Structure formats: structure tokens, C-alpha cells
Structure 1
């Protein structure tokens, strides 16, 4: 997740994921109707509106589907405080790292076509990674020691953040300095140039030994280009966004889109929200930029992203359009971290989770009261401006939550929303007036 302003399943072809809930690691069917979460709109209304009314948030909106129908929509506060424009259903926001699952779907389409072996060396497809070296400390003169990797970076490593890449431009030490000098994420670079520059930076750790969030999904986007012969943004439009009818999702905003675009706010430690100028808040989206990252950069609306989430919940298809086979969605939504990995950076902060292909995967129920509610078998991800989505096969729930402030966290929005969705208080389930 990066901001320019903040150097940031059974194999039955027609089956939906709820029917697959007992077929993968950590997934199970609910044992009976009493065990299934039931959405109570007034409870969610109260939870979200309280955060806005208290001044913790400028604006927030949410959409929840359950059992194949819309179960909740709510919007509170302002999308643009300075213009007095309310948060609305069609408000366009930066989804930042919620771009990653879309990239993963694009790449896995090519995997289904037999163009990609997940256990092949990455260099088989992107030769620039054949000569990577691994940082192994410094010598007595303080010069970096670089060694050959114990094994090649595998395609699977760039899907689950175990490739060895540094975490980005803020990485301390010699590798961070080399990363900043290479400047792979410069907006003037194409994905090809980005990948070549990244390949020239030493790996921070041996492939497969650690989970560390990185630019790996940008490499996925470059891999889509190489395998498909199309620019990544064009492939994404032709094979994911267009077929799903996600007409409000893309890298470039048109002139007519801006009246619906949410402002982005910087939250201070004492809770003051200061608007970030649009030119800095939406650096990629005005056009004229070469980079189309796989890891961030898309803008979207609640309904657009919900179509994507519902496609995943339905085992790879929606409204008669199939993007992936159910087995592929199950693969993406299954924990694939090697058993020997104990260093997983901040991933445990998202709960008791593993990692699949561009999703976190819940592998155990919350163990403490301060953990957000959720169901074993769900898969999810979020974005730097505090957006969130998840798919819960057990309860047949898909949820999308939008807000627009940085830095990530500070306000417990995700926990408040999740707890309201999963609370057991059935008295709150009365219809809204």
C-alpha cells in the first residue's frame, strides 16, 4: 500500500463457494441455521454513524450481500467535507491494495490456460530474476555482502509475498538505500522497467523463508503482460473489469468522474483530518503516467467492487460470466504459507490468518476480544485509505467498506464494522424506518 504523499472448493463447475465451504483448509459448513450470522441493518447503521457523529470519520459507506441478495447498504458523513458533498453509493474512492486481488484474478486466468506453472522459477518467465542476489549483512568495512539464493524465486513466491523483495522505499539499511536508488516504483516507469529495476535490488531474505509485504504484485502485473501480450491495464479491462460490468473501476478518471470522487484526508495523532490535495491524493488517476501497478492505483465504487467480491463468492462467476473455475478460487482462498515461516511481519495484526494468493485467509477464530469478528475460511484484504472487503463462504456473506483517510488504522473502523455484521444481538434486527 503506497501513497505518493506518504513515500506507501469442490470441482463442480457451477457450484458457488458456500457449497465449497467444507472442501478446503480451514473451511466448514455452518452446522445449522442458528449458527449462521444474520445481518441486522440498524446495528450496522448505529456502529458506522456513531463514528461519523463523534468526529472520528469524515465519511463512510458499506455494502453487504448475504444469501444472494443485498442485505445492507449505508452511507454516513461526507465524501468531500470542503464541498459539502455526502458519501453516496456511487462515490468513487481509491482502493489502494484492494487492487491486488484483481491482479491475482487476472494472473490466475492465465494459469488456468496452462501458460503458468506456479512452482516454476520466476526467471523462466521474467529472465531479469535469474541473477538475483540476497543480502547477507556487511563485511568488516561495512560493505554489503551479497550471496546467491538457496533456491530461485518461484512464481508462487510472488503470489504470497515470500519472494525476498524489500518492503519498499522506507526499508532501512543498505537494501533500502539500494531500493531507493533503483526507484522501481517511479510513475514514469513502465511495468517492464519497474520489474528490471526491482530485479537489480538484492533480496532482503532468502526466498520462501519469510512473509514480507512488497512490490510482488506489481511483478504479477508484469507477468500478466508477458504471458498475455497485452499491457496490464488493457488485459484487466478486457478480461476482468469489462466482463464483470465494473464500469466505474480503472486507473484513469475521466472529467465526468471527478464530481463523484471522494477527498482523501490525513489524520493527525490527535484526530484532526486535513484534506490532501487531489493532485497528490490521486497521482496516477489523472492520466499521463506510465506505471499501472498491480498492487495499487485503481479507483472503484461500492457496487463495482461488490460485483468482484460476489464473483469470488460464486466460485468465479457472476450473472452468467465466468472468470475463474471454482477450484482456482479455492486455491486462491487457501492458506499457502510454508509451515516453517515464523516471521510474518505485521500479518498477525489482521487476526489469526494465513495467506493465499493476494488474500489473507482466516485459519482460526478470533482468540481475544480486541480481534475483529470473522469466520474461519473467509478471505479478505484492505487498502491504505482504510477500505476493506471480505468473502465469508460459511455465512454466504460478501462485504465492502469504504472510507478515505490515511494513515491506515488509528480508528478501529474495521473491527467496529465486522463486529456489527457478526454480533449475536438479534434484537437489533428490526427493520429500519
Structure 2
């Protein structure tokens, strides 16, 4: 009997020892040294006058490994940047819209290569801009080579153009005023479809209004207002209570002011100007911009993605759908890509940039192959790094967009990029 008890105790000891060893094997990229480096970097953003305030949140392997905030949301009133500060995330709205759309994909409501006109007939028989006849005083147009597909509006190859400097086309874009806040999404789509495309679908990558068309498509496919659908199928399930278009008066003391650079000076914009969209309930509920959020709210979205569609037992997307969204859909034959190459060695999935290769030089954005990410006009950023099970959210509020902040933050997280290390992997 004593021998049996002794053997049991030895077995339990060995099991406990093995478990401890397994736990000790878990190593985090973001250790104390990295935390100090990130602190120093974010503080430098403020000290150098790049931003008024900066905050960041990082999760790794399901655990919070970093949070800190520096500087002010409101310089004039010395109001500090805090964890529950609300910021305008601008184009970081786009991946949320893509997620809402793909919940309908999972229901079999559409296929990616379906023509957009199948569901939105106003986009049938689109014309493409080829130039301007100054003598006749009219645009030179030709029929689109093929219809716009849903895949086109998820990867910015639909042909919609924002080139207001092109004679004739620029005036047509301005006259349509598709993104006027007084327009509903249906009115936006009708006005947009009246403007010739800037290029043939599938031939160029040009960032812009495509994700607002995604929001309109959500309305058509769900028979619900877009704002209602995204609330019920993405925001509520993820408990993203602070992610919204309209900010009530009770929460406006948490809103960060916005800033812009004028030479070396950092100018604080009047709140009534900077927050005009979020302080009024407008008819337009764009898919491409408009949401406010907090670090923790947006981190919940990022955590759902790194967990392949599920968070805390709630499934928003199937894992195969997340994989589809985070796979490059931008064929190498599409050579015209506007400023997308400035993001690094990336392609484009469904509302995310997708890293295909390591940085080609120390000057490029740092990151891990397989990551996917996006950012916002006020220089906010998030990314998902599946290799390290890492998700990061960076909040600042400064115009014009400053990509060098993202480069410095990424270098702080991963360490300065070494071309030798990259080529030896």
C-alpha cells in the first residue's frame, strides 16, 4: 500500500514538473526590454511634437502584454491620454465593414466573383473615363471591359476614382457629391454610379469609396440598415460598446481632440469642426470611415481575428472566412497600386493589407510575413500577427497621416529591422 502511494506521489510530481516546464516554455516577444523600448518610442512621439498624445495596447497569446499612454488628448486643458479615450478611427472602420459583409457571405447570400450589378442594378453598364475633348467640352468614355465584381469592392479594384484633377471627371465627382453626409447609402450609390469609372475594373488598385459600397451591399442583402446590421452581427457580439458613429453628450468628455501639423507647429483643431460627423446623427452611415472607438474595444475586434473568428466563445466568423479575408487577392498583374507599396511588401485581402514578404530594406515598415493590418487618416494603426499570436493597436489623432509613426512603433515592438537576419531566415 505504501509503495503504491509512493508511486502515485512520484507520478503526480512528474506531471506537475512537466506542466511547469511547459508553462516556462511560453516565451513572449514583448518582454520587459521591449516594453521599455515601446515606452521610449511613444514618449518620443510626444516630446518631439509629432503628436499631442499616444496610447498603445498589445496582446500576445491571449494575454495583455503592454499598455501605456503618453501626452494629452486636449493640450489646451491638459487632459491626459487615457485607456478609455475615444478616438476617430477613420479607415479602421473598413475591416469592421468587411467583417459584416462576410457574415452574409457565410449565409450564402453572394459569391465574391458575382457582378455587383446582380444586387445593385445601378452599377450595370458602367462607362470608363479615357480623356477629355476640350473642343466638345465633354469626357471621352468607353464601356467597361467587364462588370464590377464584389471581389473588386473588397480589394479596391472596382474602378471608382477620386482623381479630381482630371478634366471632366473631377467635375463629375464633385457634382455627384456621393459622400455628402445628408445622403443615405442608397442615394450615395445612385450618385456614385452616375460618375464614370477612372479605369477598367480589375486593372488598377485605387483606394477609396469601395467600402462604402460594401455597406450599401450589406443593406441590400440583409434588408436592414447597415448601422443596425453591423451593430447586431459584429459590434454587439464582440461587446464593442464604444465603437459607433454617434457619440452622445455623456461620452464626449472622453473624445480626443484632433491635431494637424502646420510646419513645425502642432495645431489643435476646434472640436466642433473635428467632431462634426460624430456629434450629429447623419443619414450617411459609411462603411469606409466614421466610427469612434477605444483601445480595448478595437482590441476585441483584433483578438477575434487572431482567434480565427471567435472571441470568448462567441463566433462572429468561421475560421475559413477569416483565412479568406486575410489572403492576398491582388493579382501580380495589377501593377498600378497607387501608394499601397508604401505600406511595405504587401498585397491586399478583404479590407486588409496582407504582408507577403519580409521588408526589403531597413527603411520599410517592419513586420512578420502573414500579418494583416490597416490604419486610419488620423494616423491610428492596428495589426494582427498570427505567427506570434500578437495583436497591436496604436492610437494618435494627427493630420496629415504620418506613416513614420507606424514605422517607429513597429520597430519598437519587433526591434530594429536587420536585412541580414531577414535574408538568413
TM-score if structure 2 supplies the norm length? 0.89
Q: CA deviation at 1:378?
A: 0.3
Give the alignment of 1:161-176 within 5 angstroms: 161-167=156-162, 170-176=164-170
TM-superposed CA distance for 1:339, in Å, is 2.5
Partner of 2:325: 332
**Bigger relative contact order (CA 8 A; separation at least 6):** 1
Q: In structure 2, which of residues 375, 378, 385 is the aligned counterpart of residue 382 of structure 1?
A: 375
Shift of 1:171: 4.8
Measure the CA separation in 2 of the matches of 1:352 and 1:288. Answer: 39
* Distance in 1 between residues matched to 2:393 and 2:234, nearest whole Å: 18
Q: What CA deviation, in whole Å up to 9, does each residue of 1:57-85 have, x standing for no partner?
A: 21000000001100100100001111211
Are 1:48 and 1:417, in contact at CA under 8 Å, matched by a contact in 2?
yes
**What CA deviation, in whole Å up to 9, does each residue of 1:14-73 have, x standing for no partner?**
xxxxxxxxxxxxxxxxxxx89973442111001111221222221000000001100100
Q: What is aligned with 1:227?
A: 221
1:368 and 2:361 equivalent? Answer: yes
Cα deviation, 1:390-431, whole Å, max 9, x if unaligned, reads 00001111000000011101x721111100100179xxxxxx
User: 1:191 maps to which residue?
Assistant: 185
Residue pair 2:162, 2:173 contacting (<8 A) in 1 also: no
- Tell me the secondary structure at the aligned position of residue 301 of structure 2: helix
1:418 aligned to 2:413?
Answer: no
Tell me, yes or no, if the aligned pair for 2:371 and 2:386 is still in contact at 8 Å: yes
Alignment of 1:295-310 (within 5 A): 295-310=288-303
Higher gyration radius (CA): 2
Q: Secondary structure at the match of 1:412?
A: helix
Q: Distance in 1 between matches of 2:207 and 2:162?
A: 6
Q: Which has the higher helix share?
A: 2
* TM-aligned CA deviation for residue 176 of structure 1: 1.7
Other-structure match for 2:153: 158
Query: 31, 44, 52: which is aligned to 2:38?
Result: 44
Alignment of 1:10-159 (within 5 A): 37-39=29-31, 40-139=34-133, 141=135, 143-159=138-154
8 A contact 2:379–2:396 mirrored in 1:
yes
Answer yes or no: is the 8 Å Cα contact 1:309–1:398 preserved in 2.
yes
SS at match of 1:243: coil
Gaps of 5+ in 1: 1-32, 426-433
Per-residue deviation at 1:143?
Answer: 2.6
CA apart distance, 1:286? 1.4
> Offset at 1:144?
1.1
Pair 35,156 (structure 1): closer, same or farther in 2 beyond 3 Å? farther
Q: Distance in 2 between matches of 1:294 and 1:363?
A: 26
In 1, Cα distance between equivalents of 2:336 and 2:305: 29
Bigger CA drift: 343-352 or 331-340? 331-340
CA-to-aligned-CA distance 1:302-360 (integer Å, 9 cap, x gap)? 00000000000000010011000011001110110122110000000010100000000
- Pairwise CA distance, 1:140: 6.5
Task: Determine whether 1:273 maps to 2:271.
Answer: no
Contact 1:332–1:356 at 8 Å: present in 2 too? yes
Residues 208-258 of structure 1: CA distance to partner in whole angstroms, max 9, x if unpaired? Answer: 000000100000000000111111111111111111000111000011111
Counterpart for residue 282 of structure 1: 275
What is the distance in 2 between the residues matched to 1:399 and 1:46?
17
Q: Does 1:261 align with 2:251?
A: no
Match of 2:105, SS? helix
Q: Structure 1 length as normaliser, TM-score?
A: 0.87
Match of 2:313 in 1: 320
CA contact (8 A) 1:65 1:71 kept: yes
- Report how far residue 382 of structure 1 moved: 0.3
Structure 2 contact 30–66 (Cα < 8 Å) conserved: no
- The aligned counterpart of 2:352 is 359
User: Cα offset for 1:298?
Assistant: 0.2
- Contact preservation (8 Å) 1:118, 1:156: yes
What root-mean-square deviation, in Å, do the aligned CA atoms of Structure 1 and Structure 2 show?
A: 1.6
Hey, what's the Cα distance between the residues in 2 that align with 1:424 and 1:284?
A: 39
Deviation at 1:139, TM superposition (A): 3.7
Of the three residues 183, 189, 209, the one matched with 1:215 is 209
Counterpart position of 2:287: 294
1-side partners of 2:383 and 2:134: how far apart? 49
Q: List gaps (5 residues or longer) in structure 2.
A: 1-24, 418-425
